[in-house]
Structure 1
Amino acid sequence: MSDSVNAGLSAGTIATQAARMRAATRAVMAQFFVNGAAFAAWGVQIPDIKSRFGLSDFVLSFAMLVVAGGAIVAMGTIGRWATRVGSARALTISGVAYAVAVGLVPLMPGYAVLLGLLLVLGMAMAGFDVTMNVQAAAVEAQGGRPIMSTLHGMFSVGGMAGAGLGGLAALAALPPWVYPAGIALMALAAIAIGRPHLIDDAPGRRDATARENAPAQDDAASGKRRQASAALWVLGFFAFLGLICEGAMYDWASVYLRDVTHAAPQLASYGYAAFSTGMACGRFAADPLRRRIGDSRTLAASAWMGFAGITLAVCLPEPAWTLAGLLLMGLGVANLMPFFFLAGARLPGLRPAQGVAAIARWAYTGMLLGPAIIGGITHHANLRVALMIVAAIMGLIAAVGIRQVSRIGR
């Protein structure tokens, strides 16, 4: 009798845990979706900002630099803050700030005030990005099944949906504040509804007990910090390289298709579309692959596919081959950051929020510098040579980086 009761209780507990993890997965998925939509809402507003304030390209690029700079600066404190208050609470606070900032952009009365808001936007964007990845890593770890790449795929879907809604708003000639306000309200609703289902990882009594016993653990802690520091440099370096490649593709794929392959003007924009389509498909396909062949093999296959894609585009600079290469490149690059964030959450001697924030800082820097590096090389040589260097970087990641990253946290 007791055995059957225990079995019933055990089955009930398992069912309750499974339901809780499904709810947590849906909640985090919603955060990724609205993050992508909000990011698109910011991007869609850039041309309006330029015309409203009469900005030159140089002054406009400074506004975009403020957003990126705010994100990079915030990375230094987000990990510690999220560790102290818990990633669920930090995600909620930063997500609300991000949504409100996006909604306020068209209401700014002057360029100087706009720059102040964009600084806040960049910081909130970084906080939301880091904490949702910490939550994603926690849900994957507790749920016992791969979901990280699928969640990043939802970010891509959110970006496409946000951009599509922006286009519809422009066609309908709505007032400029309506579209970003709608995206902001959607994000706030997703954050409010999802908050009760997020995993609470705030410090508890065990952390207080650990602090009381800290003197007896100093030597072990010191060793773990040294191990974490070495692993962080390795992981951060390859995250930096990976985002140089990704950022370069976003900004230069269409230019390459137009100027190097001499594609027709109406075809040139398909370069960005091919890369973005590859990114979305690669992310949704990765988690089933991880379940079948494991993380390391999936990541290695992705990296080599990216290398093959950009090499194809460089070696055969014709529109059809280049589009195929950009699609392959998107499929390959798609899963670098999801895996790097997972590895960051597993860094020995660091809390997940601190590890993810540190990797995100390297990644944001690569994303910021990548297009500029490619532009500089293009100025002194040409775009084809610049993308040859991107191919070499992808080859380095595939041949060396994947093995190093796969060892972290094992």
Structure 2
Amino acid sequence: MHHSLPYATRVRARYATMAIFFIAGMMYATWGVHVPTVRDRFSLSPGMLSLALFAVAGGSIFAMLTAGSWIARAGTRTASMTGGILMMVCGALVLVTPWFWLLLLVLALFGFGMATLDVAMNAEASAVEEALDRPIMSSLHGMFSIGGMAGAAAGGALLAHGLAPAAHFALASGVSLLVLLVSIPATLPHVPHHDEHAKASSSKRWRSGALWALGGLALIALIAEGAMYDWATVYMRDVVQATPSVSSAAYAAFSGGMAAGRFGGDAVRARFGAPQLIFGSAGLAFVGMVMALVLPNTVFTMTGFTLMGLGLANMMPVLFAAAARVEGVTPAEGLAQVAGLAYFGLLLGPVLIGGVAQVTSLPIGLCVVAACCAIITLIGPKILRRLKI
């Protein structure tokens, strides 16, 4: 549909979308940096802090469930703008909110804006991929990873140099808003979906076996990814007996593997196809996790975590690209459903591993991650082949 646009317009849309992915990653990381700040500001117990974290997750899941058909009607440009502005305004308010109940409301709206932007920018990415007629989804997700790393690093440096936390969050929100406003006009123009199509799509969405299959894979992949974010450092410290600085490097090794894998993923998908990329990626992640569990010393564990990052890197880009192409459903609706299920996996992963670790031990808990990777290796390629993706 966008093939008729001049090539320069399509390339400009790609760079604009890259910028939007970058600021989304940066804002997400800025929130992550300030979770302890929120805890200290309101003197929260672990239970109350998890309520605050759940407010963000709840807002996000509500958006995934409700915003898909609106994004399909309004278009990715309007939806990215609306979601982005809501996220950034709420971000600037998080650390100046006077009462805890109001903080929960701000965080829920922050999560809602973040998820709306997430679905809209992935639908835009799918349109750009189609317009350019080559895979670009992985490198866009790579920009999200780079934005996250830059946001965390810049946040750490500015706070260490004495910038007030509230000023830092407001600065990150302001810079992100500026980038968003500059980038949006360069994104692809909206091709409207007729209301009848959107309504039909909405009902088909919940009956689509293809979307449930892709969403199931996304859920399993993000159980593994979520577990790595929360438990990699703990595993290094408690099981490998590494020093605190080496332990936090485990998180960096995993994140670095993720970023590197995403910037290489498009070329592999273009050359070998999505089923082979999923097979190789999940297999690599499985080998990495088994290496970290069987040989718990610093070198092997760090190598294993890097392989995990490389392996998990292209799961979401490939599954999101597939979700946007499912027959009879608008890209935004397909993405919203798969992203919503994936989000449950991200929430479920750390809790599931923590529960198993509580009853047994952390290495046995992390066997769940290896099992998730093995399941995707076995069934992921078959599902993608059946969908002819």
- Shorter-chain TM-score: which interval? over 0.9
Matched, 1:340 2:329: no
Q: Is the 8 A contact 1:279 1:331 kept in 2?
A: yes
Q: CA deviation at 1:251?
A: 0.3
Opposite residue 290 of structure 1, the aligned amino acid is: R
Residue pairs, 1:4-403, within 5 angstroms: 17-203=6-192, 207=194, 225=204, 229-403=208-382
Q: Is the 8 A contact 2:282 2:311 kept in 1?
A: yes
Q: CA deviation at 1:73?
A: 1.5
Match of 1:3 in 2: none
What is the CA deviation profile of residues 124-165 of structure 1, one whole-angstrom value per residue up to 9, with x for unaligned ones?
111011110000011001111111000000001101111111
Supply the distance in 2 between the matched residues of 1:291 and 1:163 (Cα, whole angstroms): 32
Supply the distance in 2 between the matched residues of 1:149 and 1:325 (Cα, whole angstroms): 22
Supply the distance in 2 between the matched residues of 1:332 and 1:136 (Cα, whole angstroms): 22
What is the CA deviation profile of residues 202-260 of structure 1, one whole-angstrom value per residue up to 9, with x for unaligned ones?
426xx37x77xx9xxx9xx99x9499611111111111101000000000011111111
Q: Is the 8 A contact 1:311 1:391 kept in 2?
A: yes
Q: CA deviation at 1:293?
A: 2.2
Supply the distance in 1 between the matched residues of 2:3 and 2:99 (Cα, whole angstroms): 56
Q: CA deviation at 1:15?
A: 10
Supply the distance in 2 between the matched residues of 1:114 and 1:228 (Cα, whole angstroms): 37
Q: Is the 8 A contact 1:165 1:179 kept in 2?
A: no
Supply the distance in 2 between the matched residues of 1:264 and 1:191 (Cα, whole angstroms): 40
Percentage identity across paired residues of the two chains: 43
Opposite residue 107 of structure 1, the aligned amino acid is: V
Supply the distance in 2 between the matched residues of 1:231 and 1:104 (Cα, whole angstroms): 40
Q: Runs ≥4 in structure 1, deviation > 3 angstroms? A: 13-16, 224-228
What is the CA deviation profile of residues 244-300 of structure 1, one whole-angstrom value per residue up to 9, with x for unaligned ones?
000000000111111112223331112111111110110011112222222222222
Larger Rg over CA atoms = 1
Supply the distance in 1 between the matched residues of 2:205 and 2:19 (Cα, whole angstroms): 37
Determine helix, strand or coil for the equivalent of 2:189. Answer: coil
Q: CA deviation at 1:16?
A: 6.4
Q: Is the 8 A contact 2:281 2:311 kept in 1?
A: yes
Opposite residue 371 of structure 1, the aligned amino acid is: P
Query: Which sections of structure 1, spanning at least 5 residues, go unmatched?
Result: 1-12
Determine helix, strand or coil for the equivalent of 2:6. Answer: helix
Q: Is the 8 A contact 2:212 2:338 kept in 1?
A: no
Q: Is the 8 A contact 2:274 2:384 kept in 1?
A: no
Q: CA deviation at 1:17?
A: 1.6
Determine helix, strand or coil for the equivalent of 1:269. Answer: helix
CA RMSD of aligned residues (A): 2.2
* TM-score scaled by length of structure 1: 0.90
Supply the distance in 1 between the matched residues of 2:160 and 2:208 (Cα, whole angstroms): 51
Supply the distance in 2 between the matched residues of 1:16 and 1:200 (Cα, whole angstroms): 10
Supply the distance in 2 between the matched residues of 1:21 and 1:271 (Cα, whole angstroms): 38
Q: Is the 8 A contact 2:279 2:380 kept in 1?
A: no
Q: CA deviation at 1:52?
A: 1.1
